[in-house]
Chain A
Amino acid sequence: NAGVTQTPKFQVLKTGQSMTLQCAQDMNHEYMSWYRQDPGMGLRLIHYSVGAGITDQGEVPNGYNVSRSTTEDFPLRLLSAAPSQTSVYFCASRKAGQDYGYTFGSGTRLTVV
Chain B
Amino acid sequence: ELKVEQNPLFLSMQEGKNYTIYCNYSTTSDRLYWYRQDPGKSLESLFVLLSNGAVKQEGRLMASLDTKARLSTLHITAAVHDLSATYFCAVDLLWGQFYFGTGTSLTVIP
A, B bound: yes
Interface residues as binary, A22-65 with B (CB distance below 8 Å gives 1, 0 otherwise):
00000000110101000011111100101000001011000000
Please state if A101 and B45 are interface contacts (CB–CB under 8 Å). Answer: yes
Please state if A42 and B102 are interface contacts (CB–CB under 8 Å). Answer: yes
> Interface size for chain A: under 10, 10 to 19, 20 to 34, or 35 or more residues?
20 to 34
Q: Is the interface of B mostly helix, strand, loop or mixed?
A: strand
Please state if A35 and B100 are interface contacts (CB–CB under 8 Å). Answer: yes
> Cα distance A104–B90 when bound, in Å?
13
Q: Which residues of B contact A (CB under 8 A)?
A: 4, 6, 9, 31, 33, 35, 41-43, 45, 48, 50, 88, 90, 92, 95-103
Which of B33, B97, B103 is in CB contact (< 8 Å) with A42? Answer: B103
Question: How many A-B pairs fall under 8 Å by CB?
Answer: 61
Q: Contacts A31-B96, A33-B96, A41-B102 given; indicate if A101 touches B48 (C-beta within 8 A).
A: yes
Most buried by A among B9, B92, B96, B98: B96
Name the B residues within 8 Å of A75 (CB-CB).
none
What would 10 A/B residue contacts be, using CB atoms closer than 8 Å? A30-B96, A42-B100, A42-B101, A43-B43, A45-B100, A90-B43, A92-B98, A94-B96, A101-B45, A105-B42
Please state if B92 and A43 are interface contacts (CB–CB under 8 Å). Answer: no
Closest beta carbon of chain B to A102's beta carbon, Å = 6
Which of B41, B43, B98 is in CB contact (< 8 Å) with A45? Answer: B98
Name the A residues within 8 Å of B95 (CB-CB).
31, 48, 50, 56
Query: A106 an interface residue at 8 Å Cβ cutoff?
Result: yes
Name the B residues within 8 Å of A50 (CB-CB).
95-96
> Cα distance A45–B92 when bound, in Å?
12
Closest beta carbon of chain A to B41's beta carbon, Å = 8
